[in-house]
Amino acid sequence: MQKRPILVIDDEEIIRKTLSIHLTKGNYSVIQSAGGSGIFDELKNNNYELVISDIRMPEVNGLQILEYVKKNYDDIPVLILTGLMDLNITIDAMKMGAFDFLIKPITKEHLLNTVQNALHNRDLLIQNKKLERENMEYRTLLEKKVEMRTDELNNKTIELENAYETLQKMNFQMVKVLAEAIEAKDKYTRGHCDRMRFTCLKIGELLSISEEEKTDLEFAALLHDLGKIGIADSILNKIDALSEKEFNMIKEHSLIGEKIISEISSFKNVSKIIKHHHENYDGTGYPDGLKDGQIPLLSRIIAVADVFDALTSNRPYRKSLSTENAITEIKNISGTKLDPTIVQHLINNRGHFHKNSDT
């Protein structure tokens, strides 16, 4: 095993030699120095693991040597050689970072014990630094990995959001196509679906419905009469009064619409809204005769918008009403056919609906 090198600095040759003999017997390799102005070069150029330095020396004293070593090689321990009279300076040396002090005359046993402790402490410090460095490297590596994973996840999230947006757009386009198919069945309701969409969303906004509800409402407004594609044109476009049987057939459109839409799994809510868009607030509507809070809110919105649009649009059997006249009509059925709270919102904000519904 390689001997560990120790630098011994003392201006008195006899002390250097004594220490050197003891340390050599203790199986250390010793470099001797008398100190003086060249000591800093010696400290720089020699290879050693421990410094033993006298305090009182001409030109450069032990405290200056200690300061230099601590500043430049902080893992090399320094032992201070001192006399009993130099106790205050020794305390200063300890405060400056000396590992320990050796009071002259020095015994071999005490010297070797102290040196062993100092080198053991140095080994621990080096080991500790190595572990800290490895720990730091590991943390940096881990942080990089986390950062990479976070970036990956963010990219995936963006991809998913884009895919969802595309899907929503496709849904909307599909719904628009269906809405146009409904309108094509009934020449008198051209533009009805688009106006319904506008009026329903405006009312939904006034009622502070959630974003999810807005999407459902938008689709339901466009598709509420989808079931009419299952009703004969001769009945749908009949100008004369409908027989009870014919009226019952028309009523079927709520359930037909619900059935078609419920085939699309993401449109479950929409199909339910469509099913109940002809329920009356007092329970006299169809298909289930639900009343007030039993009727889904979005279906109640569609019911109000549907009546408002029918009144303010031209029909084969009458001209369109003005907004004010339509509102008078609507007031008459508020609380019976229509939800009075929603009607009130429509009345309070009639300016928003007038322009669009008369186009």
CB of 228 to Fe ion, least distance (A): 7
* b/e per residue 4-41 (b: at least 16 CB within 10 A): bebbbbbbeeebbebbbebbeebebebeebbbeeebee
CB of 146 to Fe ion, least distance (A): 55
Nearer to Fe ion, 225 or 309 (CB): 225
**Cis (ω within 30 of 0) for the bond into 5?**
no
CB of 186 to Fe ion, least distance (A): 11
Which CA distances in Å does 48 have to 45, 61, 231? 10, 19, 102
Q: Which stretch binds Fe ion (CB under 5 A): 150-158, 200-208, 219-227, 294-302?
A: 219-227
Beta-bridge mates of residue 6: 30, 50
d(CA 290, CA 279): 6
12 to 51: interface string for Fe ion, x by CB under 5 A: ----------------------------------------
d(CA 83, CA 89): 10
Q: Verify binding: residue 213, Fe ion, rule CB under 5 A.
A: no
Nearer to Fe ion, 111 or 295 (CB): 295
Nearer to Fe ion, 78 or 221 (CB): 221
Q: Hey, CA dihedral for 334, 339, 345, 350, is it positive or negative?
A: negative
Q: Which stretch binds Fe ion (CB under 5 A): 1-9, 125-133, 222-230, 333-341?
A: 222-230
d(CA 58, CA 5): 25
Count residues binding Fe ion (CB under 5 A): 1
Closest-by-Cβ residue to Fe ion is: 225
Q: Which stretch binds Fe ion (CB under 5 A): 141-149, 161-169, 218-226, 321-329?
A: 218-226
CB of 291 to Fe ion, least distance (A): 18
Q: Verify binding: residue 225, Fe ion, rule CB under 5 A.
A: yes
Task: Specify whether the CB–CB gap between 20 and 65 falls below 8 A.
Answer: no
Nearer to Fe ion, 19 or 222 (CB): 222
CB of 328 to Fe ion, least distance (A): 23
d(CA 302, CA 300): 5
Nearer to Fe ion, 49 or 225 (CB): 225
CB of 159 to Fe ion, least distance (A): 39
Task: Specify whether the CB–CB gap between 118 and 79 falls below 8 A.
Answer: yes
CB of 239 to Fe ion, least distance (A): 18
Task: Specify whether the CB–CB gap between 237 and 189 falls below 8 A.
Answer: no
Which residue is it, tokens 């009949």?
A: 238
Q: Which stretch binds Fe ion (CB under 5 A): 17-25, 38-46, 118-126, 225-233?
A: 225-233
d(CA 316, CA 78): 109
Nearer to Fe ion, 18 or 189 (CB): 189
Phi, psi of 209, deg, nearest 5: -75, 160
Q: Verify binding: residue 86, Fe ion, rule CB under 5 A.
A: no
Q: Which stretch binds Fe ion (CB under 5 A): 62-70, 187-195, 211-219, 220-228?
A: 220-228
Nearer to Fe ion, 79 or 236 (CB): 236
CB of 306 to Fe ion, least distance (A): 6
d(CA 324, CA 332): 13
CB of 222 to Fe ion, least distance (A): 12
Nearer to Fe ion, 86 or 225 (CB): 225
| E strand map for the chain | 4-9, 28-33, 50-54, 78-82, 100-103
**C-alpha 163: how far from its chain's center?**
19
Nearer to Fe ion, 114 or 312 (CB): 312
Residues in touch with Fe ion (CB under 5 A): 225
